[in-house]
Amino acid sequence: MSETKTITIEGIDVQLGLLLNGGIMDNYMGTLAIFYKDGLEKIDQLVECLENNDINRYTTLVHGLKNAAISVGAREVSDFARTLEIAGNRDDSVIFIFENNDEFLTKLKALLNNIGVVLNDEKEIETNAEQLKFMQEMLVKLKNAFENMDAKQINALMKSIEEKKWDKTNNELIGKLSSHILLFEYDDGIALINRYLPG
């Protein structure tokens, strides 16, 4: 079983994030990696939205950041994003976005920097051919369980997968699958597996 690790990240309630990722540290680290990469991309996109006065797209982006931030336990950034989302949905509050976006981006950049430090400290694990074969076999079975909406089998398969050590790419995959399972998004889980498995 995966070795228990303890991490601390300023601006994040790690215990909340861990809880929302099934209590599995490897899953949580995968979710952090996804949030880090996506967050960096969103910064430029948010700036571009305001330059183009595209409030609708801006509101959609901060909505996504709100949900993504809480999934890693970043309450403050999530709450800030929620406030901006509400403003974006109200014509009389759009000025609030322009007045507060810089502060939001500063907080988001600081958070991402803190996450980046932790991710860079993680020793990269290489997935060998035997592990890759195991993962592919599990994903085929998991896809079948999704199609049959067999929750018991889904949980059993995920447990078998989570008990092994994986590299960051596979941890990200596991994190996404766990999220789909938590929200009963079985069709999305199937689509994710189809993208991962060889043609």
Structure confidence at residue 107 as a pLDDT band (50, 70, 90): very high
Reply yes or no on whether the pLDDT at 26 is more than 80. yes
* Mean pLDDT, residues 20-47: 91
What 3-state DSSP class applies to 195?
helix
Reply yes or no on whether the pLDDT at 191 is more than 60. yes
Where is mean pLDDT largest: 102-116, 154-168, 170-184?
102-116
Asked whether the beta carbons of 73 and 14 are under 8 A apart, the reply is: yes
- DSSP-assigned letters across all residues of 109-178: HHHHHHHHHHHHHSPPPPP-HHHHHHHHHHHHHHHHHHHTT-HHHHHHHHHHHHTS---HHHHHHHHHHH
Reply yes or no on whether the pLDDT at 166 is more than 90. no
Provide the whole-model pTM: 0.61
Q: Of 13-27, 60-74, 173-187, where does mean pLDDT reach its minimum?
A: 173-187
Q: Tell me the residue type at 73.
A: G
Residue 71: CA count within 13 A, CB half-sphere? 25
What are the helix and strand counts (H, E) for the chain? 9, 0
Report which of residues 142 and 127 the model is more confident about.
142
* Mean pLDDT, residues 104-129: 81
Reply yes or no on whether the pLDDT at 4 is more than 50. no
